[in-house]
Amino acid sequence: MVLPDNARMAEQDPLAAAARAAQLRETLHHHAHRYYVLDAPELPDAEYDRLFQELQALEAAHPDLLTPDSPTQRVIGRVLDGLAPVRHAVPMLSIQTETDTSAAGALAFDARVRRELALPEDAPPVEYAAELKFDGLAINLRYAAGVLVQAATRGDGETGEDVTHNVQTIGQVPLRLQRPQDGLQGQTWPAVLEVRGEVYMRRDDFEALNARQRDKGEKTYINPRNTAAGAVRQLDAKVAAQRPLSFFAYGLGDVQGWPEGQEPATHAQLLDRLAAYGLPVSQDRRVVQGAEGLVQFHADMLARRDALPFDIDGIVYKVNSLALQKQLGFKTREPRWAVAHKYPAQEQLTLLRGIDVQVGRTGKLTPVAKLEPVFVGGTTVSNATLHNLFELRRKGVRVGDTVIVRRAGDVIPEVVGRVATQPGPRQPYVPNFRLPQQCPVCASAVVRERGGMDHRCSGGLFCAAQRKQAILHFAGRRAMDVEGLGDKLVDQLVDGGIVRTLPELYTLGVAKLAALERMADKSAANLVAALEKSKATTLARFVYALGIRQVGEATAKDLARHFGSLDRLMDAPLDELLQVNDVGPIVAQAIRTFFEQPHNREVAEQLRAAGIHWPEHEAALGPQPLLGKTLVLTGTLPTLSREDAKALVEAAGGKVAGSVSKKTDYVVAGEEAGSKLAKAQELGVPVLDEAGLKALLAGGG
């Protein structure tokens, strides 16, 4: 690790080390808050990493400087034997649930509050704080002198479980409270402050987690709520750290000694105070007047529910005045001053009537469940994805089963499992579902890459289901570079039956294009000119434009360089393909499968007949000073963009990698080079500037 001069000096001088460590902790806490809570980072990731590594090095050299609130303590290595019980100083009680999802639920709560307060009919409306009911796991965070000392689950309300080691891994949970920027003098926060809140998982994080699980062939998770709850209760913090958890604060537990002038008078002020301490508080909250305000907030959030980045299952209403909350008190174990007003469930049971196969834009075959229609997540669902054959088999789902269907937000409805004990009479045996061997759209062979989870149609240039995707890829800037051929125009061309295959693009005329909606004569003429211009290209661009599975830009260049002609590439056997730089068995088989489909070869020939051309053997003739070399680019170069530098390296036969290792030949570093430069220096990898790169490209290395 390469440290700046002040860090090296601090390693030797204990006083300087202590001052530098304190400064680093303060800086890292500030930027973590900007990143995780405010979503407004001020620092590049590489610079944050550099400061973090500097603090790690200082703490390693001076173990006495290590503090519980140090940012380096977020991921703890120890594995617990079990979760220790925690007795709550203030019980974590549940609140009453209003299951009537109509406006009547809000009206009933307001009527109860007014009755308990003995308000006359002509009294002013009661002021309420309305907020979201998050679908996660309730957590109590205990801060002593502003430092997080314990995190515990709700448990039975009286006793929970100590999950501090896992909650410390959640970036949004501050290890040390922030000093409020409100001008208040004296003590900054209560001596003891217990913050109640919810650990949850965002929908996009949950979908990405399941996608990673599917790619690895491992089990997927049913819903974000259960996944978050399971992560929080892990014995190994490293497992929790791998789950993308988030947190919202919404209330208090034990509080000992509010600083003078800081004790809130309302629930809304309380949430503002928690936000000032650096805790994440949802902005989707509102202070409203009376029942009408509650009804309006409930309706507004229902309309926005699908657009929220996380799951909610309702709204929570609280009397805003803390004095009135105290006056209302509790009924049994539920506060009279709060209620949860539910929304329709996002998971339901229904009958699986059949399984169809859908071919996506990229050729992926997806089994789709045909369901007995069921109302879930605010809409009627009759189709739901089963993702792939292997996940379907893991879930043990068969036609005739009662299944769990989930729909949350704009996520495609999915079958997440079957009911183990099926209601009703036992269904007759149904054999396991099998995917077809030929594409149901174009009859091309269905293939699955070795070790992969997905089955795909191999007729990429021919299959109607993949037509739009094939055209957009073909016309892309790094492929044939047809300017003006974007999504909306491709939709018109394909949906209108004007273009059915790639070669038909080159038969388009100005009159036919100008007749399309929102297409002027000038735009039509420009597109025709762009298509004509694209005919003069390179073999590498053309090969990439064909959209062969597993063949990206770099591989297309390697193929063009090795074979020098399209005919040689199309006829190349597997053993010759394997001789190409960085082409392994999976890539070689994908290329072979593509060109074994007669219609793919025919489309390639028709494109050549339409006038697409390139200099024969041009790719194999140029000098290759970097052949077999691997380079890593980092930082900002004086005159070359990252993309331009990469193109020059690849044109010279080199490969550009994303990370530094012992196999890296050179690191090219510009301004603000980050951890990659430090890694290169640590491993002894030669480091070049832009001038050094140009000398290398010119053969002067």
pLDDT tens, 377-411?
Answer: 767 889 998 988 988 888 888 998 899 898 865 56
pLDDT digits (tens, 9 = 90+) for 85-98: 999 999 998 888 88
- 632-641 exposure pattern, b = at least 16 Cβ within 10 A, e = fewer: bbbbebeebe
Q: What is the mean pLDDT of residues 478-483?
A: 94
pLDDT above 70 coverage of the chain, percent: 91
Phi, psi (rounded to 5 degrees) for 68 = -60, -25
User: Mean per-residue pLDDT for 626-654?
Assistant: 87
- Give the type of residue at 281: V
Question: Above 50 in pLDDT, residue 3?
Answer: no
- How far apart (Å, rounded) are the C-alpha atoms in residues 271 and 136? 19
pLDDT in tens, 307-323: 899 988 889 999 999 99
Q: How far is CA 569 from CA 130, 326, 539, 577, 642, in A?
A: 65, 80, 10, 8, 30
Q: Is the pLDDT of residue 454 over 80?
A: yes
Is residue 418 predicted with pLDDT exceeding 60? Answer: yes
CATH topology for the 127-342 domain: D-amino Acid Aminotransferase; Chain A, domain 1 (3.30.470)
**Would you call 535 a catalytic residue per the annotation?**
no
Burial label, 530 (beta-carbon count in 10 A; 0-12, 13-18, 19+): middle
**Max alpha carbon distance in the chain (Å)?**
93
Inter-helix orientation angle 467-475/487-495, to 10°? 140
CATH superfamily of the domain spanning 439-620: 5' to 3' exonuclease, C-terminal subdomain (1.10.150.20)
**Residue 2 confidence class, pLDDT cut points 50, 70, 90:** very low
Give the domain 5-71 fold: Helix Hairpins (1.10.287)
Which has more confidence, 627 or 190? Answer: 190
The dihedrals phi and psi of 492, each to the nearest 5 degrees, come to -65, -45
Cα 116 to Cα 497: distance, rounded to the nearest angstrom: 68
**249 - beta bridge partners?**
197
**Residue 123 DSSP one-character state:** S
Q: What is the mean pLDDT of residues 572-581?
A: 91
Contact 131, 298 (CB under 8 A): no
Residue 189 has pLDDT above 60, yes or no: yes
208-222, pLDDT tens digit by residue? 998 888 878 787 887
- Overall pTM > 0.75: no
Segment of 70-79, 264-273, 459-468 carrying the highest mean pLDDT? 264-273
Q: Residue 619: pLDDT band by 50, 70, 90 thresholds?
A: very low
Q: Where in the chain is CATH 1.10.150.20?
A: 439-620
pLDDT surpasses 70 at 11: no
pLDDT score recorded for residue 453: 84
pLDDT tens, residue by residue, 503-539: 999 999 999 999 998 888 999 999 999 999 999 999 9
The rounded distance, in Å, linking the Cα atoms of 526 and 631 is 39
CB crowding 36-47: b at 16 or more within 10 Å, else e: bbeeeeebeebe
Cα–Cα distance measured from residue 516 to residue 157, given in angstroms and rounded to the nearest whole number: 65
Residue 696: CB atoms within 10 Å = 23
Supply the pLDDT for residue 260.
81
**pLDDT score, position 597:** 87
Please state the φ and ψ torsions of residue 402, each to the nearest 5 degrees: -85, 125
Residues 467 and 460: their CA atoms lie apart, in Å, by 8
For residue 184, pLDDT over 60 is answered with no
Query: Is pLDDT above 80 for 12?
Result: no
Find out whether 408 and 414 touch, Cβ atoms under 8 Å: no
Phi, psi of 666 (to 5 degrees): -145, 150
Per-residue confidence (pLDDT) for residue 621, from 0 to 100: 45
pLDDT of residue 96: 87
Query: What H or E segment, with its residue span, contains residue 143?
Result: strand 137-144
* Residue 681, both tokens: 């220096």
| More confidently predicted of 140 and 207 | 140
> Count of alpha carbons within 13 Å of 299, Cβ hemisphere only?
9
Q: Which single residue is written with the structure tokens 């926005």?
A: 304
Q: Is the pLDDT of residue 657 over 90?
A: no
How high is the pLDDT of residue 291?
A: 95
Topology (CATH level 3) of domain 630-697: Rossmann fold (3.40.50)
Work out the number of other CB atoms within 10 angstroms of the CB of residue 72: 17
The answer to whether the beta carbons of residues 419 and 398 sit under 8 Å apart is no
What is the Cα–Cα distance from 436 to 230, expressed in whole angstroms?
37
Which residues of the chain does CATH 2.40.50.140 include?
A: 347-418
Rounded-to-integer distance, Cα 596 and Cα 577, Å = 14
Handedness of CA 297, 302, 306, 312 (dihedral sign): positive
- What was the pLDDT predicted at 479? 94
Structure tokens at 655: 């490969």
pLDDT in tens, 325-366: 999 998 877 899 999 998 877 788 899 999 999 998 889 999
Residue 306 CA to residue 339 CA, distance in Å, equals 22
77 has pLDDT over 50: no
User: Which of 133, 318, 655, 676 does the annotation list as catalytic?
Assistant: 133
The mean per-residue pLDDT over the stretch 454-466 comes to 87
CA 477 to chain centre: 26
pLDDT at 551 exceeding the cut of 90: yes
- The rounded mean pLDDT for the chain is 87
Residues in the chain: 701
Residue 270 has pLDDT above 50, yes or no: yes
Could you read off the pLDDT of 114-137 as tens digits, one per residue?
999 999 999 999 999 999 999 889
State the CATH class of domain 347-418. Answer: mainly beta
pLDDT the model gives residue 672: 84
Under 8 Å between Cβ of 631 and 667: yes
312-319/127-134 β-pairing: antiparallel
Q: What is the pLDDT of residue 648?
A: 86
Query: Over the Cα atoms of the chain, what is R_g?
Result: 31
Residue 306 and residue 518: Cα distance in Å, rounded?
Answer: 31
Sign of CA dihedral 400, 405, 410, 412: negative
32 pLDDT more than 70:
yes
* Structure tokens that stand for 295 in this block: 């009804």
**Spatial distance between the Cα atoms of 582 and 690, rounded to a whole number of angstroms:** 26
